[in-house]
Amino acid sequence: EVQLVESGGGLVQPGGSLRLSCAASGFTFSSNWMNWVRQAPGKGLEWVASIKQDGSEKYYVDSVKGRFTISRDNAKNSLYLQMNSLRAEDTAVYYCARNGGYCTGGVCHAIFDFWGQGTLVTVSS
């Protein structure tokens, strides 16, 4: 059974740092792109970052570039999000999501097929 379990959320002051973790099990972690998606209280979903299977490619939403770093440790089946210079607008539930992927004719589509339960990050003084 595929499981994704986030941890590391909490209350942090503006300008502070936090590191989120996502422990994966039930699948070959090194075979999938992984993602972080967040949801501010009462708001919609926002994709935050993606990382390729071997960590060689990383992408970020503009609002977190230079502040957040996505990484992974395939030996530990773990995904991370290092968040620095946190702002009030970063307050959200952060989900890790597996990209199940679907490729046909050389074209691949993202499928966020498994999600964690989310971890709440609150940035406030």
Partner 1 sequence: QMTQSPSSLSASVGDRVTITCRASQDIRNHLGWYQQKPGKAPKVLIYAASSLESGVPSRFSGSGSGTDFTLTISSLQPEDFATYYCLQDYNHPLTFGQGTKVESK
What are the residues binding partner 1 (CB under 8 A)? 35, 37, 44-47, 50, 59-62, 95, 97, 102, 107, 109-113, 115-118
CB of 20 to partner 1, least distance (A): 15
Q: What is the DSSP letter of 78?
A: E
Strands 10-12 and 119-123: parallel
**Closer Cβ to partner 1, 7 or 13, answer by number:** 7
CB of 14 to partner 1, least distance (A): 24
Q: In angstroms, rounded to a whole number, what is the distance separating the alpha carbons of residues 29 and 118?
A: 18
Query: Per the structure block, which two tokens stand in for 19?
Result: 């590191």
CB of 75 to partner 1, least distance (A): 26
